[in-house]
Structure 1
Amino acid sequence: MRRLFLLSLLSLAAILLTHITNAQKGNCGGKVKVLTLNRDGAQRGNTLAEYGEPIAVRGDYTLCLRFNIIVFRLLTAVIYILDQKDYDELPISLDVYFEKIRTKYGGYGRFYPLPNNLATNKWYFYCQTRNSSGGEGRVYLDGELLVQETIAFATDEAVRDTIMGQDEYMPPYSMSGQLSQVNMWRRVLSHEEILSLTRCEVDLEGDIISWSGPWKVYNAEEKYVSMPELCQSVNRGRMTVPLPSLRYHDSVQLCRGLRGYFDVPATMAAVYESKKFFEGVSDCARVWAGADDEAVEGVWHNPFTGVNMDPSEMAFKIHNPDGDKYQNCILLRDSGLLDTDCKKHSCAACHTTAGSTWTLRGTCEEEERMYYFDLVALPMSFRGYGEYRVRKVEDTWVWYNSVTNTTMATLSPLSLNYPVGRLTWDLKAEVCGQEGGQRMLTLSPCVPGEFTCDDGSCIAFSKRCDLKFDCKDKTDESFCDIVNFPGDYRSRLPPRPASDEALPIAVSVSMDTLNIDTTTMLLSVSYNLRMTWLDNRLTYNNLKPLTRLNTVSQEQVAQLWRPQVGFINTDDIQQTKVDEDAVTTVFRQHKVYTPNLANPYEVEIYRGDTNPLSTSRKYFTIYTCNFDLVLYPFDIQKCYLRLQIISASSEYLVFNINDSTVNYFGEKFLVEYGIGKIDLKEGDGGQYSEIQVQVELIRRYGFAMLNIYIPSVTLLTISYVTLYFRPTIFEVRVMTALTAQLVLATLFTQVSTSLPKTSYFKMVDIWLLFCILLIFFIIIFHTIIDLNLDYGDGSFTSSNPLPKISTGSIGVTRVSPINADGKEEKKDYKEMFKLAFSANDVKFYIIFSKCTIFTIFLLFNAIYWGTLAKDSGLVYYY
C-alpha cells in the first residue's frame, strides 16, 4: 500500500510539473508574447502569422485568443483555420467588425451582433467551442456567453493550416492590431476555465495549437509583456492629458470638453504626483488645480463636480490662501497649494478615462467605424477607428485620411485652439457631397444618451430642448425643430398609408362645460378637440417621453398638412382652426430610433409612420339639438356634436372610431338636466367621414313635481272633496271646483309658455288636461245631483228649512198635516212616493260620482306612470 501511494504521488507530481512547464512555454521569464500587425493602420497582404505545423480538428475543440484592434477594417480577419485542399471548404474562423463578429465552427457560421460596439486599443478575450457529439456551439467574449446554438456538425477529417491576420491573403481585410494567447484544445473547456483565462488567472497552453508553438511571423512586431500589463488594458484606467499654458477658465472648458477633471490634492504626496506630469517642461512651472472661489469668497468650488470643498482637506501652503477677492484660483507648487489670479496662464493636467470613444459628427460615412476616434495624450491628437486622424500641424488642426494621405478639412485657429466640440471646419475634400467651404463638425466624447454642447461638454440627452438652459454656453436649446420635411412634401396633400387605404384620424373630445336651452333647443359646449394621425412622409427629431416637450413650432406647423373638421349641426359655418391657440405635438409611441451621425448635432430620428402627430385646440360651439318633448318633464334627450372631415372624401380620410375617445369633466348635474351617458358613434356623412358625439341629457323632474304635479294633485283633491260637501250648498261646491279648474288652467298656460311650441302633446299636457277634465266631470256631477234634489216650495228661510239629508243616507222627514180640530190629516201616498224616489236618485248619483271620479283617477295614473316607467327619466339612475 505504501509503495502504491508513493507511485501515485510521483505520478501526480509529474502531471503538475508537466502542466506548469507547458503553461510557461508561451512566456519568457513570466511574460506573455504579443504580436502587433500593421501598427500604422496600413493594409498589407504580407503581414501575418502562421502556425508551423498542420493540424486536424476531428471532434470537440475550444479555440481561445486575445485580440486588440488598432484600426477597424470593414472586415478584420483575426484567425482562419483552413482545409489544405480547399481554403473555402468548411473553415474555422473569426472575423471582427466594429459592431458584430462572424464565427465559423467548420463551415457553419453567422453574424452575431454584440451588446456594445467594440473599441480600439482595448484587449478582448474570445473563445469558441464545438461539441461534436452534442451538436452545440458556443461563443464567449470577455467571459460572457454570447452565442449558444445547436448545430449538426459533420465529421471533420481535414488537415488544416492556421493563418492569423489575413483572410486568404486579401489586403483589404488584413488585421491592424495585436494578438496574444492563441490556443486550441481537443476538448470543450468549462465556463469556469474560460473565466479564469479571461481574468488572466491562468495561462493554459493548447494541445492542438499552442501559443508557445512553432509560429512563423511575417512583417509583424513581437514583444513580451507581463500578465498584469496585458490584462490591465481590459479594465481601462485613468489617462492624463497635459494641457498647455492657458487661463484658468479656458483650461477648465477644454478639460471639460475632454470629459476630464483637475486634481485638487489633499496631501503633499498628491501635490508631487500631480506635478510630475510636467517635469522637464520649461513652460509649465505653473499648474492649475481644480477649484476656485470666484462665486463666493472663501467657498472653494470644484467646477467639474459642482461640489464645494473644505479648505482643511486641501493641501494649501502655509499662510494660504491669502489673496482675498483678488486671487480666486489655485496653483500647484512644490510647497503646496496657493491662490492666484485666474486670468494668468498656467498648465494643467486633465485626467480622463482611458479608451473613451470619440465621435466625429457631421460626415456622411458608409461604415459606422469611420465616425469614431481615440484620444491620444502625447501629443494630444485623435486616432480614428478607421483610416482617419485628427492632429495639429503647426498651428492648424487637420482632419485627414492616414491611408490615402488626403486632407479632409482644417480648423482655423481659434482663441481656444482645440478641435473639441461643435466647430466650423474648412473642407478640403468632398464631405457629404459638399466639395469645399465651411461645414459644421462635432468632435465629442459624449456617449449615446448624451448631448454635446458647443464647448464640448456633455449633458444628458433628456435635457436637450427641455425649455431650460443646461449647457454653460446655452446651446442645448438651439436648433430644436422637431419635424423633418422631405423635399417633395406638399402640405395640401394628405398622407397616404403604405396599404393605400384611407388615412385613419382619431379624435379626442374633452368637454369642460355643457349648457342646454330647452326653449331654443340649443346645446352650448366648451371642449378641447384633439385630432391624431400618422404622416409617413415625415421623420421627427429627439422625441421626449413627455409629450408637451414635443411641441411643434408655429413656423413648422404652417408647413404641415392638417385635417380640417367641420362642425355640421351649427347655425353657421364653423370648422377647426390652426392659430396661436392650437397646439401641435408628436406622441413618442415607438421608442426605436435611428441615430444620425451625419448631423453635427446629436439627433435621434423617429419614424413618422409609427409616431403620431396631434393637434389640439379649445372651442366653444353652439350646436342645434332637436328635442323630443313627448315625455316632458320625464324626458331623456340625446344631443349630438356632429364632426365631419372636410379635407378630403372618405376614400382618403376616415375617422378611426376605435381609437377615438370622449370625456366630460364638468358638473354632473345642471339646472334642468343631469348628464347621462356620453358616447361616440359613426355618422352618415355621405361621401365625407363623420363621427358623432352623443350627449345624453336626463331631465331633472324635481322642479316639475314641486310646481306642477303636487299643486295639480292638491287642486284635484280639493275638487274631489267637494263631492262630500252637503248637496244643498250647490254654490259652494261648484265655486270650489271652478276655482281649482281656473288655477289649473293658469298653471297649464304657464307651463306651455316655458316650453317650445310643439304640434304634439307632452306628458305634462296630458296630465294637466286630465286634471282639468276630471274637475269638469266633478262639476257635471254636482249639477246632476243638484237637479235631482227637491227643494219643496223653494223657500230657504230658517222657518221653513229643507228636509235634512244626511251624507251617509238620504232621508226625508215626514210631516203630517193637522186639521183644525187637531187631528192628523189623511196622508197623500202619491206625493210620498215621489219624494222617496227622488231621494234614492240623489243618493245614487252622489255615490256614483265619488266612485267614478276615484276610479278614473286611479286608472289614469296606472296608465300614465306605467308609460313613464319605460324609457323615461323617471326611473333613470345616474
Structure 2
Amino acid sequence: METRCDQFPNCKDGSDEVSCRLLIVPENYNKKIPPFQLDWTTNQVIKAEVNVSLFIVDMLKISEVDLEFLLKFKIKLEWFDYRLQFYNLKKSDASNALSVLEAELLWLPTLVFTNTEKNDITSGDDKSELTVSRSSKSSPSPDWEIEEINIFPGSSNKLNFERVYTKTFRCVFELSMYPFDTQVCYVDLEVKTLDRQGVNINPILIQLDGDTVLTQYILTDWNLAYKNESNPDQGVKMKIVMKRRIMSEIMTTYLPTILILTIVYITNFFKDFFFEAVVSVNLTALLGGLRLFTNLRQDVLTCAKASISSQVLSSFLSSDVSLRLQASFGAPRRLEPSSSQEGQCSHINLKVFIDIRDIDITYWRGPIQNIDKMFNPSGLLFFKG
C-alpha cells in the first residue's frame, strides 16, 4: 500500500495509479468558515490553531527617507481541519501536494500584513504550495469499498501552506544617533476581522536564510513573538534589529571633513605673498563642506531631527565661515614695495558675498581700499572693498 498512488506505476498495467484521490471534501463543507469546534459542555468556541513560521530570504532595500524597507521572505502556515479526510498519504510531504484546484476547495488562513501600504493579505494561488503532513496511523477503507484505500483523518494530519512574498513594509527610523544608530523594524501579522472569533495564530519559528551583512546595515537580531502576550488576538510581529555599518560613513563623511579642515588650518601659516591662494583654498574648502552636507542631507538627514552628523557638519559650515573669512580678510595684506614703486602698494580688490540662506559665494579682483563688514536684514553677509 505504500507504493499505491505514489506517482510511479509499480504494476505492469499501471492499475496502482488509477483512481488516485488525495483529498476528500464533504458536501456540507464551507471554505469561508474556519475549522473551529464547539465545546458542548461549556458552549464555548474552541478556536482553530494556526502556527506561523517566517523565513527571511533577503533584505532587498532600506530607505530611511521614505521610512520603509523591502523584504523578501517565505511564510509557512500549519493547521488541522477536522472536516477533511485524506487518502493514501505518503511519508514525504512532497508526495502529498495538493493541486491548485484542490486548494480552491479548502479554507485557508488569511493573515493581514498591517504595516504595508494597502494591508496586503496571504492568499493561495499558483505561486503557493499546499501539502499534507502524515502524522497519524491510517484506517482501512470500508468493506463495501471496491478499492483498497488508506484513510487519514484531517484532525490529526496537518495542512501546510507555503509562499514566498516580496513586500514593502513601513518602519520608523530613529536617526538622532546617526551614524552610530541601531534601527528596529517590524513585520506585523494579524488574522482578518471575520476570522478572529474562530482562529488563533501562534508564532513558532523564524529563520534567516540570507546574508546578515548588507550595504548599509548589519542584521544583529531577529525574532517572532506575540504583539501582546496577554492578548494573542492582536497578532504576531517579526522583529528585525539592524546596526549601521560605521566604516562607510567614516570614509565618506568624517575623513573628508577632517582633511578639509586640516588643509584650511595649514593656510594660516602661508606668507602674505600667497594671500590669493589662501582665499581660494578657504572658499574651495567652504564649498566642499557644503557639498558634503547637502549630500548627507539628501540621503538621510531629511528625516533626522538632530543627528550627530548634522550637528558636526552644520557647525563646520556655520562657525568656520567667520573664522575662515577673518583669517583670510581680517586685515589688508600688502606686498613689499619695490624700488620703482616706493610708497605705493600693490592692491587687490576683493568682494565676497555670502548668502547665509543659500550659501552662495562669489568673488572677484580689483583695488583694495578698506574692508567693511556689514549685516543687512535680509540675512546677507558681505565684505565690500
Q: Using structure 2 for the length normalisation, give the TM-score.
A: 0.75
Could you tell me which of 79, 82, 87 is aligned with 1:536?
Answer: 82
CA distance in 2, matches of 1:635, 1:547: 44
2:224 maps to 680
Shift of 1:798: 5.3
Partner of 1:664: 208
Name the residue aligned to 1:480.
20
Aligned residues: 333
For 1:690, the aligned partner's letter is G
Q: Distance in 2 between matches of 1:477 and 1:520?
A: 55
Contact 2:108 2:123 in 1 (8 A): no
Cα deviation code 1:390-436 (max 9, x no counterpart):
xxxxxxxxxxxxxxxxxxxxxxxxxxxxxxxxxxxxxxxxxxxxxxx
Looking at structure 2, the residues matched to 672 and 539 of structure 1 have their Cα atoms a distance apart, in angstroms, of 50
Q: Distance in 1 between matches of 2:211 and 2:121?
A: 26
| Max Rg structure | 1
Q: Distance in 2 between matches of 1:554 and 1:632?
A: 48
CA–CA distance in structure 2, aligned partners of residues 554 and 718 of structure 1:
69
Q: CA deviation at 1:730?
A: 5.9
Amino acid at match of 1:719: V
Cα distance change of structure 1 residues 558 and 735 upon mapping to structure 2, 3 Å threshold? closer
From 125, 129, 140, the counterpart of 1:583:
129
Q: Does 1:653 align with 2:212?
A: no
Matched, 1:745 2:285: no
Map of 2:58 onto structure 1: 513
Q: CA RMSD in A?
A: 3.2
Q: Could you say what secondary structure the match of 2:46 adopts?
A: coil
Amino acid at match of 2:265: Y
Report whether the alignment pairs 1:615 with 2:161: yes
Native 8 Å contact 1:525 1:620 kept in 2? yes
Post-superposition CA distance 1:102-148 (Å, at most 9, x none): xxxxxxxxxxxxxxxxxxxxxxxxxxxxxxxxxxxxxxxxxxxxxxx
Kindly provide the amino acid, as one letter, of the partner of residue 769 in structure 1. Answer: S
Q: What is aligned with 1:501?
A: 46
Cα distance in 2 for partners of 1:795, 1:577 equals 82
Check conservation: 1:540, 1:608, Cα contact below 8 A.
yes
The residue type equivalent to 2:226 in the other structure is E
Classify 1:595/1:689 alpha carbon distance in 2 versus 1 (closer, same or farther; 3 Å). Answer: farther
Shift of the alpha carbon at 1:472?
A: 1.8
How far is the alpha carbon of 1:542 from its aligned partner? 2.3
Counterpart amino acid of 2:194? A
Shift of 1:621: 1.9
Q: Report deviation, 1:773.
A: 4.2
Distance 1:689 1:560, change over 3 A: farther
The one-letter code matched in structure 2 to 1:481 is R
Deviation at 1:667, TM superposition (A): 3.3
Matched, 1:717 2:252: no
Report the counterpart of residue 367 of structure 2 in structure 1: none
Contact 2:200 2:232 in 1 (8 A): no
What's the CA shift for 1:551?
Answer: 1.4
Partner of 2:99: 553
Question: How far is the alpha carbon of 1:617 from its aligned partner?
Answer: 2.1
Higher relative contact order structure (alpha carbons within 8 Å, sequence separation ≥ 6) = 2
Shift of 1:612: 1.2
- How big is the shift at 1:597? 4.1
How far the C-alpha of 1:532 sits from its partner, in A, is 0.8
Q: Report SS of the residue matched to 1:648.
A: helix
Cα offset, 1:780, TM superposition:
6.6
Query: Which residue of the partner structure matches residue 320 of structure 2?
Result: 775
CA distance in 1 between counterparts of 2:317 and 2:301 reads 22
CA distance in 2, matches of 1:705, 1:604: 67
For residues 66-465 of structure 1, the aligned pairs below 5 Å read 461-465=1-5
> Given residue 697 of structure 1, which amino acid in structure 2 is its aligned partner?
M
Query: Are residues 689 and 550 of structure 1, via their aligned partners in 2, closer, same or farther at CA, if it must alter by over 3 Å?
Result: farther
| In structure 2, distance between residues paired with 1:552 and 1:610 | 17
Distance 1:630 1:509, change over 3 A: same
Q: Are 1:634 and 2:180 matched, yes or no?
A: yes
Q: In the alignment, which residue of structure 2 is the partner of 1:146?
A: none
Alpha-carbon deviation of 1:746? 1.8
For the Cα contact (< 8 Å) 1:649–1:688, is it kept in 2?
no
C-alpha separation between the residues in 2 aligned to 1:639 and 1:463?
Answer: 48
2:31–2:105 Cα contact (<8 Å) kept: yes
Unaligned runs of 5+ residues in structure 1 are 1-460, 802-878
Corresponding residue SS for 1:463: coil
1:700 corresponding residue in structure 2:
245
Distance 1:501 1:766 in 2: 58
Q: How many angstroms does 1:705 deviate by?
A: 2.1
Deviation at 1:722, TM superposition (A): 3.3
* 2:337 is the alignment partner of 1:797: yes
Aligned residue for 2:297, secondary structure, equals helix
Paired AA for residue 171 in structure 2: C
* Contact 2:131 2:159 (C-alpha < 8 Å) held by counterparts: yes
Look up the equivalent residue of 2:110 and give its one-letter code. Q
